[in-house]
Structure 1
Amino acid sequence: MRIEATNQSRISTFAVPALCAGLLCFGSARSAPTDPGSSATATGDGALYDFNIEHLAADLSVSGDGELQPVPLIAAPELPPVASMADSCAEPLADDSMLERVRRRLAITACASSAWLDGLFGDQLRYDDYRATYGTVSLGTLWSQYDGVDPRLRFKLRLQLPQWDERISAFAGRVNRDEFISDSENDFDALPRRQFGSMAEDESVLVGLGYSSPRRNGNDFDVSVGVRVDLPLDPYVRTRWEMTRTFAESYVFSTRQSFFWQNSEGLGATTRLTLDRALSPWYLLRWSGLGKFTQETAGMEWNSQVTLFQSLNPRVGLAWQAELEGETDNEVQQTNRALRLIMRRQLNPEWLFLELRGGVEWPRRKLTEDREASAEVGIAFEMQFGPKRERNALSR
């Protein structure tokens, strides 16, 4: 007896016209088809399962004492060994440099992990989809007069799960836990930054699953659940809705509302508004405003930022940034002011990036503190592996 099962899903794509300057692509990056599975139309492959009539019963054999003993014939499906998964994920080396070998090993490990996890939901492994697994690894350090030296190692990885559902993906990363869960990450996250009066220090490894609406049409919805990989375990749930609109040819406006629950922080909500204005093919102006409330915060934490993106050439981009932030119920309501210049340069090979930051801040959290200038300097390297994706895709 043969049973045929077919799983089909169709995903269409919506993309707001990109407003780009050099390496910095901003056409409301949050509105682009950033989800795995939302960037193309995909149809699930039919899966054939063969059953023999004996599989529906038990074989009867005679034991030593003459009694009939049932012997089950249905065995659990076996997944290919990890070694064969890695071999199936392997691709030729572009060159024999140490960096290329490291990047290739990261890509193979990510692909094999995606195949192993997806293999739990079926036996029709799709390596073309698993090779679309993508991520970044960044290493950098920031020095400031106020906080001293702060080194950071971060990574983000998005795993494809086509056998389960094209709209579902798995996530793993070493990130700032509070910024990631509350959806308050900055456009540039390779280096740490002062947020709401204090330097973000809560770096954690998070793993989870995410669901995104199949069509990116300007009214988009996604949900994610996950846990911090540490004891005690700290689970979280987050849901987001985003609306994006273009108008007057050169404007893109987006609003995003997030609700989240974290075991250690309780309930919270974040509202983000973004307005982009294309000034020319080489300049883009962005204003973004953010308000966050949790059960653990004193009132509402807020942030307002103006950034001028400048393209110097196809490989180099600058970001001129001014920022204000504070807390409504803190004894000092405006906790920080900052001016920054950020340079992002594509190196050779093209998947390696250099990020430089220089600026000055004026932090003040307590009335007993004086608001004094604090210089900051930072450098970071970022390696991308897997297909090229917008960096914001990894936060979904």
Structure 2
Amino acid sequence: MRRSLVSCILFGYLVGAGAAEPVPSAPEQDLGGQDSVMVRGRAAVRDLTESVARHVDRWFGDKPFEPGGKVSGSIGLKFLAQQHESPEMNLRFRARLDLPNVKEQTYLFFGQENEQELITDQPDAFTRRELLLPEDRKADLTGFAGLGYALRDMIDFRAGVRGGFKPYAQARYKKNWLVSERNGVEFRETLFWKPDDGFGATTVFNVSHAFSPSVALRWQSAGTISKETDGMAWASSLGVFKSYGVDRLASLEAVVSGATAASDDIGEYGVRAIWQQPIYREWTILEVSVGHFWPQGEAKAVRGQNWALGVGVDIRF
């Protein structure tokens, strides 16, 4: 799911889930009754993930898993209906394992994501999932796993494999500045590598202004350069975000994207509105998004237009 909320309004920062890490969530007791299936299903996924973490951790030493060991992750299911396209439903899964027998800043990760967005470290706001664009489950989505090392909360190194044991690597630098009481800036630079495309880079720059403790204006932008892009593939959005409490958020954004060396610099523009809230306990989050977009047609002078609806549920564990 694309956002954590309160810090976005108070400090001008949005914490994503896409390229961002899963939000930890404490285990919860089964209270019985009608909700037991949901609770037990979530607990089973968490227990399975933790058993993997304990097993791998024993490869590196004899320290007990508690208190230093930790697992966190999420399962996301999203339904997309786009005008002129067949409806589709996709599943995302991601997990992070902090292991006490591995060096303190080192962690393991695995899951399933859009392969290109995973490698280029695209910000959540500009993924196909959040732009309400269709994905081919066989061609676009892939399983992945790897090892990460975090240095001083600003530098992150990752090396892993995705579908077919194809390797990739990333080096990411991120920095947030609270410019004033109401204004914040976020910068992120990711260098990435994969054998068939060589090196590339993704730059993310976001600026936020809080009008009040619950309302913020945010400008988000990202650009990616690699052998597969037409010059620099870029995207930008400007929107207003309104918080209604923890994990409850409404937003309205104008979005535009394109490529600098394409036949038309602007490939698509549009507007999207999103509502997000918990629907079951604090760890099951619903997101409903509606968008109207004007993509570039085959003829340069002609633009199409279409509506899109997305309904997603994210279960954190």
* TM-score for the superposition, normalised by structure 1: 0.70
What's the offset of the Cα at 1:180?
1.8
Pair 1:315–1:288, CA change in 2 (3 A): closer
1:175 matched to which residue of 2? 113
1:113 matched to which residue of 2? 52
What's the offset of the Cα at 1:287?
0.7
Q: Are 1:19 and 2:7 an aligned pair?
A: yes
Pair 1:263–1:199, CA change in 2 (3 A): farther
What's the offset of the Cα at 1:369?
7.5
What's the offset of the Cα at 1:312?
3.1
2:39 matched to which residue of 1? 100
Q: Are 1:250 and 2:182 an aligned pair?
A: yes
Q: Distance in 2 between matches of 1:354 and 1:301?
A: 30
Q: Distance in 2 between matches of 1:329 and 1:188?
A: 19
Q: Distance in 2 between matches of 1:114 and 1:314?
A: 29
What's the offset of the Cα at 1:200?
4.6
Pair 1:35–1:177, CA change in 2 (3 A): closer
Q: Are 1:150 and 2:73 an aligned pair?
A: no
Contact persistence 1:19–1:278 (CA under 8 A)? no
- Structure 2: runs of 5+ lacking an equivalent: 1-5
Contact persistence 1:210–1:225 (CA under 8 A)? yes
What's the offset of the Cα at 1:334?
0.6
Deviation by residue 1:154-194 (Cα, 9 ceiling, x = unmatched): 01100112211110111111111111221113248694536
Q: Distance in 2 between matches of 1:173 and 1:365?
A: 35
1:80 matched to which residue of 2? none
Q: Distance in 2 between matches of 1:105 and 1:169?
A: 22
Letter in 2 for 1:29: V
Q: Are 1:297 and 2:221 an aligned pair?
A: no
Show structure 1 runs of 4+ deviating over 6 A: none
Q: Are 1:126 and 2:114 an aligned pair?
A: no
- Structure 1: runs of 5+ lacking an equivalent: 1-17, 40-89, 386-396
Q: Distance in 1 between matches of 2:171 and 2:236?
A: 23
Deviation by residue 1:126-175 (Cα, 9 ceiling, x = unmatched): 23333x31100011111111433231100110011221111011111111
Q: Distance in 2 between matches of 1:226 and 1:159?
A: 14
Q: Distance in 2 between matches of 1:363 and 1:342?
A: 20
Q: Are 1:163 and 2:101 an aligned pair?
A: yes
Pair 1:285–1:368, CA change in 2 (3 A): closer
Q: Are 1:352 and 2:284 an aligned pair?
A: yes
1:382 matched to which residue of 2? 314
Q: Distance in 2 between matches of 1:234 and 1:339?
A: 36
Contact persistence 1:253–1:275 (CA under 8 A)? yes
1:306 matched to which residue of 2? 238
Q: Matched residues, percent identical?
A: 27
What's the offset of the Cα at 1:370?
2.7
What's the offset of the Cα at 1:330?
1.1
Q: Are 1:29 and 2:15 an aligned pair?
A: yes
1:49 matched to which residue of 2? none
**SS in structure 2 opposite 1:102?**
helix
**Quick one: which of 132, 138, 150 aligns to 1:212?**
150
Aligned pair count reads 302
Letter in 2 for 1:105: A
Greater Rg over alpha carbons, structure: 1
1:54 matched to which residue of 2? none
Q: Distance in 2 between matches of 1:313 and 1:123?
A: 43
Q: Distance in 2 between matches of 1:239 and 1:210?
A: 10
Pair 1:292–1:20, CA change in 2 (3 A): closer
**SS in structure 2 opposite 1:143?**
strand
Q: Distance in 2 between matches of 1:21 and 1:277?
A: 8
Q: Distance in 1 between matches of 2:127 and 2:32?
A: 29
**Quick one: which of 222, 227, 240 aligns to 2:156?**
222
Q: Distance in 1 between matches of 2:88 and 2:297?
A: 20
* TM-score for the superposition, normalised by structure 2: 0.87
What's the offset of the Cα at 1:266?
2.2
2:3 matched to which residue of 1? none
Q: Distance in 2 between matches of 1:206 and 1:354?
A: 25
